Chains A and B, each alone.
Chain A
Amino acid sequence: MDKFKISLFPNISLIFGIFALMLIVFFLNSLPSIQKFGIELYTTNVWKAYEYEHEERYGLLAAIYGSVYTSVIALLISIPLSIGFAIFVVDFAPKKIKEPLIVITDVMAGLPTILYGIWGLFVLAPFLRDYIMIPLYKTFSYIPLFSYPPTGYCYFTAGVLLAIMVTPFATAIVRESYRMVPRIYKEGAFALGLTKYETTKILLKYIKPAIVAGTLLAFGRAIGETVAVSLVVGNTFNVHPSLFAPGYTISSLIANQFGNAFIYDLMPSTLFAAGLSLFLIGLSVNLLGLQYLKRWRYA
C-alpha cells in the first residue's frame, strides 16, 4: 500500500479513538445514575441532593430544556443576522470598511467567553430587562411566552448573549461561501431583469449548504457554551415556557455542580449523564444536518 496513506493511519485512529473513548467514558460513568433513575433521569425535573443515597433524586429535564431553549433563541436571532451581515460585507460595504469589518468579526469570534459573560451580566441583562422585557411583560403578560416577571437573568438574555457570541462564526462561513459564488450566476440573474434583492435571494439558495453548515456550527457552539451562559441564565431548576423565566443549561449545570458533586453518591454520575445528553444532542443535530445536505446535493 501507499506509504503516505499508511502514515495517515495514526491520525485517523487517534481522532476516532478519542471520540469513541469519550463516548465510552461518559456512558460508563453515567450508568449508576441511569440504572437508579431509569428514563426519569431525562424526563423529570428534580434536584434533591442528600448525603444518604436512598434519598437522592435527580432529573435533568430543566437543564436539557434550557439548553435547547437558549440555543434555539440564539439561532433564531443569529441566522438572519449572520446572513444579512455576510451580504452587506460582500455586496455593499465600501472597500475601505470591508476588511476592518471582517477583522472585527474574527476578533469577536476569538474573544474569551468570560468577557461576554461579564458584559452580559452587567450590561446586557439589565438593558434587556429595562428596555425589552419589562415593556413586553407589561403589555403581553397574558401570552405564555412573556408571562414571567422579568429579573433580567433568564432564557432570553442567555439566548441573546449566545446569538452575539455565535454570529461571528456563522457569518464567516456564510460570507466566505457567498463570496465564492461564481460571477456568472450573478450576471445571469441580473441579465434576466432581476433586482439586487431578487438576485441575492437566488444566490442564497445556491449557498444553502453553507448556511446549514453555519447553523450547525452556531448550534454546536451555543449549546456547548458554559461560562457566559451560567452568568446570565439564572441557574434555576425550572421548566417554563416564558422567555423571561430563569433556567439552567446542561453545561452550566455541570460547571456549577461539579465542585461539590463528590460529596454525594450519585451526583457525579448524574452530571456525566448530563454530559452524555449534551453529546447525544450534538451528535443528532449534526447527523440531521448531514442528512439534509445529502438530500440537497442529490435532489
Chain B
Amino acid sequence: MNAFEVRNLRVSYDDFEIISGIDLDIPAKTCFAIMGPSGCGKSTLLRTFNRLIEINENARVSGIIKLFGKNIFEIETSELRRRVGMVFQIPNPFPHLSVYENVAVGPKFNKMVKNKKELDKIVEWALKKAVLWDEVKDRLRERASNLSGGQMQRLCIARALALKPEVLLMDEPTANLDPISASKIEELIHELKKEYTMVIVTHSPSQASRIADYVAFLYLGKIVEIGRVEDVFENPKHELTEKYLTGRIG
C-alpha cells in the first residue's frame, strides 16, 4: 500500500520551475527520505504533500498526488493537513502559548474532542509519543518558549501527532539542533515509522542512511535516483548520486 503516489508533479514560483516532473511512490509505514543539496526543491516538494505550498500566492502546482488513493487536491486543505502532519526546520511551537496549549491547539480547533478530559488525554498521549512527557509533565502551564531547542522540536512533533495523522512530514527536523537533541529526534523517528508514514527531507546523506528505508535523491528539481536505502547507498546507478554521496557535490 502506498501512502503517496506522485505523478508528473511540477511546481513553479512565478515562472521559475522548482520541481520539474516528478514521479514517486511512498510506501505506507516506512520512513522515506528526500535528500539533495540545498535549493534542489526538497522543501517545495514536501510542502506540496500537505498543500502548504498554496499559502504562497505565486506558487503553481500541476500533476497528480494521491494520498492512499485519493487525489489530495480534492480533499479540503484542513482535512488534508490533519491527516498529513508537518514538522519544520526551525522548531516553531507558538511561543506565547503554554506547552499544554501548543499540543491542544490542533485537536481543539479541529473539534476532535468533546470535553477537557478528552483533551487532557490526547495531550498526554501525544507528549508521551514524542518522548517529552517525563520532561514537561510538571511544566505544562509554562510558556513553550522556555523549553530547549530539542524539547521544542519534540513539542512540535507532539503537536502534529495530537491530530492523529496518517503521515508525518519533516523538513530537516534536526538541522537547527545540537547533536544530542538531533540523535533523540532520530531515535524517535525510528519508533514513529512503525505506526506512521514518515517523509523526511534532509541535506545529509548520512542522516538519510541512518533513519530511512527508502530514499530519493533530488537534484535541480528532478529525481535522479530512488530506491531502498541499501541499494542506493551501496550501489548508486547514477554518477551524480555517487558524487553526492561521496561529498563531491552538495
| Partner-B contacts on A (CB < 8 A) | 182, 184-195, 198, 202, 205-206, 208, 299
Contact = CB atoms under 8 A, between A and B. Distances in A.
A192 B94 contact: no
B110 A191 contact: no
Contacts of A184: 88, 90, 92
A47 to B, nearest CB: 49
Given A185-B94, A202-B94, A192 B105 contact: yes
Contact of B92 (A188, A193, A205): A188
Contacts of B85: 191-192
A205 B160 CA distance: 21
B90 to A, nearest CB: 5
A190 B95 CA distance: 16
Contact of B88 (A187, A194, A202, A205): A187
B65 interface: no
Interface string B85-114: 110101011111100000001100110000
Nearest to B98: A299
Given A192-B106, A192-B163, A194-B109, 4 more contacts: A188-B92, A188-B93, A192-B160, A202-B97
A193 B94 contact: no
B81 A192 contact: yes
Contacts of A198: 109
Contact of A191 (B79, B81, B95, B109): B81
Most chain B CB neighbours (cut-off 10 Å) among A185, A186, A194: A194
Contacts of A193: 77-82, 106, 109-110, 163
A95 to B, nearest CB: 10
A206 B96 contact: yes
B156 interface: yes
A190 B88 CA distance: 12
Contacts of B78: 193-195
- Give the secondary structure class of A's interface: helix
Contacts of B96: 205-206, 208
A148 to B, nearest CB: 43
Contact of A192 (B55, B90, B97, B109): B109
Nearest to B77: A193
Interface size class of B (residues with CB under 8 A): 20 to 34
Contacts of B81: 190-193
Nearest to B142: A299
Given A192-B81, A194-B78, A187 B92 contact: yes
B151 interface: no
Nearest to A299: B143
A193 B160 CA distance: 10
Most chain B CB neighbours (cut-off 10 Å) among A182, A186, A193: A193
B193 interface: no
Contacts of A189: 94, 105
B249 interface: no
24 contacts: A184-B88, A184-B90, A185-B92, A188-B93, A190-B55, A190-B81, A191-B50, A191-B85, A192-B106, A192-B109, A193-B77, A193-B79, A193-B81, A193-B82, A193-B109, A193-B163, A194-B109, A195-B78, A198-B109, A202-B94, A202-B97, A205-B96, A208-B96, A299-B143
A186 B88 CA distance: 12
B42 interface: no
Nearest to A198: B109
A191 B105 contact: no
| 8 interchain residue pairs of minimum CB distance | A193-B81, A184-B92, A191-B86, A193-B78, A193-B82, A192-B106, A188-B92, A206-B96
Most chain A CB neighbours (cut-off 10 Å) among B77, B90, B92, B143: B92
Nearest to A192: B106
Interface string B159-183: 1100100000000000000000000
Contacts of B105: 189, 192, 194, 202
Interface string B33-70: 00000000000000000101001000000000000000
A142 to B, nearest CB: 41
A193 B116 CA distance: 20
B139 to A, nearest CB: 13
